Amino acid sequence: GNSVTQMEGPVTLSEEAFLTINCTYTATGYPSLFWYVQYPGEGLQLLLKATKADDKGSNKGFEATYRKETTSFHLEKGSVQVSDSAVYFCALSIAGGTSYGKLTFGQGTILTVHP
Amino acid sequence: DAGVTQSPTHLIKTRGQQVTLRCSPKSGHDTVSWYQQALGQGPQFIFQYYEEEERQRGNFPDRFSGHQFPNYSSELNVNALLLGDSALYLCASSLGVGLENQPQHFGDGTRLSIL
């Protein structure tokens, strides 16, 4: 089956520090990969996506590269801000077939950024 | 442009009761998916509706049922509530069920507490 594994959390950083959140996946097909962010008391917001190998998704200073050879989609940001404090979810979806449109999520990584 | 809206925002029920949660998709979207997010976990896929039919279903018992209306809005019904049904229930909408992985847009969720 399909699964997503995120790095153990939570992650605590000082403002302007470099961020990496690791994500690896197992998929029976050829997945699209996503990062979603969830702020306290809110639903999930799409942060970025990549639909094929070597694609780089980017948004709001965050980046992630689809690495098929290592089945990974690590999230990075060069300089985090206090406002980036949230829970980050890595997810995959398989195009076509019976699993289409179903998002499979990792367990989430809590990020706290201190001033 | 209204995003995905869910109602109610919070709900308290007792064991054995039944509950109905509602979702209006983002304007222009025709597909609705429901997810259950237990505290501290990633969302788990419940089912997906398109053209008023259940298209996919996750690993949830028959106590969980749904409906989609001609205006694309949707309901999630849960019968015989258990303590373990306490969670945040998220609705997500997207466009179509074609081969392209259209990103899903999430509402803020309904927090269901079972006493």
Give per-10-residue mean pLDDT for chain A (115 aa): 88 97 92 93 91 94 97 97 96 70 91 96
Q: Alpha-carbon distance A85 to A99, whole Å?
A: 32
Mean pLDDT score of chain B: 92
- Structure confidence at residue B18 as a pLDDT band (50, 70, 90): very high
Q: Are residues A88 and A96 in contact, defined by beta-carbon separation less than 8 angstroms?
A: no
Chain A residues lying within 8 Å of B111, measured CB to CB: none
Report how far apart, in Å, the C-alpha atoms of B108 and of each of A40, B42, B89 are. 10, 15, 9
- Under 8 Å between Cβ of B34 and B66: yes
Question: What are the φ and ψ backbone dihedral angles of A60, each rounded to 5 degrees?
Answer: 55, 35
Provide the number of CB pairs (under 8 Å) joining chain A to chain B: 70
A25 at interface of B, judged by CB pairs closer than 8 A: no
The reply to whether residue B106 touches residue A45, judged by beta carbons under 8 angstroms, is yes
Residue A108's alpha-carbon distances to A32, A114, B12, B46, in angstroms, are 18, 20, 26, 18
Pick A61 or B100 by higher pLDDT: A61
First vs last C-alpha separation in chain B: 37
Among residues A81, A101, A72, A87, the alpha carbon closest in space to that of A5 is found at A72
* Interchain proximity A93–B101, CB inside 8 Å: yes
The pLDDT-based confidence of B95 (bands split at 50, 70, 90) is: confident
**pLDDT value at residue A43:** 87
Q: Return the structure tokens found at A13.
A: 């950083």
- Whole-angstrom Cα distance, residue A26 to residue A92? 9
Calculate how close chain B gets to A43, using CA atoms only, in Å.
4
The arithmetic mean of pLDDT across residues B2-31, rounded, is: 95
CB nearest B109 (choices: A4, A43, A101): A43
- Burial-class residue B92 by CB neighbours within 10 Å (0-12, 13-18, 19+): buried
